[in-house]
Structure 1
């Protein structure tokens, strides 16, 4: 039951210790966990951007309403979605499936047709982007849990201006759009939130049985 204790331990850290750094191998495990997250169709049409450049972190701070977690946390992960899934990307995914599972490409044509059909069912880019954004939230859940089990602090953040952040980081040129920010690191000793009791509904109110 260690994962329950870890989840009880975690909270949205508002103030990080800017002097404490995450060991590289620990951060690598966190990111690998994110990569193992379930995604619709298995497409993984999202990317995790690890923003290492301190100047860029300072540059996006005004577009994050000056929330200091963005610059004070040991590391900043940005969950981005692919803004354009074309046939070439679908083909690349099918080729990866074939190679990984030692399957003949012809045996995957039905799967490929199903993916193409599903994606073409979106009437415009907006609903597709909303669908992709939901994939990033699934990944966020995995990252938060992995951080908690590593006893790393984190703070999921929607409170930023994504278009401005994308512009600063030149994400549009790479066909990406930022959905979530995730500063990770170690809580500051004077972060008051760490001493507050976690507020959650009782299980009998959270769970519905029919």
Structure 2
């Protein structure tokens, strides 16, 4: 049975933690997964380009392939779902073309209008970034999506664990991501915490407010 949350966002953030052991018998409903997808779709990114792809993994067979690549972390197979949070390997002119066309259609404007041509020009600066700068920039966009996703999951009562501990090159090769012009940045495991998770007894530890904030 899915947990219904009745708390504000701060209480939800206090409730969440990076789950180390999921209850493999509990699966997220289609409604919960759809809410997660909507949250990802609405994530802000630099220039709004969303140069990313999110691969939802439900298949036990695919999870089994991923587990050794992720150093046999149990969350990989125990979680209800995994999301492979990927970025594009490089930015192409078509990425801007398609975005501008979509923006024009949504706003009922002509692509050739001054507003759209000015917008198009401002976006194309990313095409001139050196390759390494492009990669860092696009990696950062995935982390923006991660932050948004973790908050939404907390509010929705969905347990989660973001994971960087995997061989990025091997995962790309095993799942054929490079052929799709994709590079996996993060694995996001989500589902429901197990009552056997040792982290349940841990209190959340954060630095005090006075250490984190200054006012000038």
* TM exceeding 0.5: yes
The offset of 1:51, in angstroms, is 1.3
The offset of 1:84, in angstroms, is 2.3
The offset of 1:60, in angstroms, is 1.3
Decide which moves more: 102-111 or 62-71.
102-111
Aligned equivalents of 2:29 and 2:59: distance in 1?
Answer: 17
Q: Pick from 197, 203, 208 the counterpart of residue 191 of structure 1.
A: 197
In the alignment, structure 1 residue 21 sits paired with structure 2 residue 27 = yes
Alignment partner, residue 120 of structure 2: 112
Aligned equivalents of 1:202 and 1:130: distance in 2?
Answer: 30
Aligned equivalents of 1:118 and 1:21: distance in 2?
Answer: 40
Write the deviation string for residues 79-113 of structure 1: whole angstroms up to 9, x where unpaired.
00011221112100000000011111112111111
Aligned equivalents of 1:189 and 1:24: distance in 2?
Answer: 23
In the alignment, structure 1 residue 138 sits paired with structure 2 residue 165 = no
Write the deviation string for residues 149-181 of structure 1: whole angstroms up to 9, x where unpaired.
111110011111111011111111111000011
The offset of 1:117, in angstroms, is 2.3
Runs of 4+ with deviation above 3 angstroms:
none
Structure 2 spans left out of the alignment, 5+ residues:
1-6
1:165 and 1:178 in contact (8 A); partners too: yes
Q: Pick from 118, 129, 132 the counterpart of residue 126 of structure 1.
A: 132
Aligned residues: 208
In the alignment, structure 1 residue 80 sits paired with structure 2 residue 86 = yes
In the alignment, structure 1 residue 103 sits paired with structure 2 residue 80 = no
In the alignment, structure 1 residue 202 sits paired with structure 2 residue 202 = no
1:152 and 1:184 in contact (8 A); partners too: yes
1:31 and 1:143 in contact (8 A); partners too: no
* Superposed CA RMSD: 1.0
The offset of 1:52, in angstroms, is 2.0
TM-score (norm 2): 0.93
Structure 1 spans left out of the alignment, 5+ residues:
none
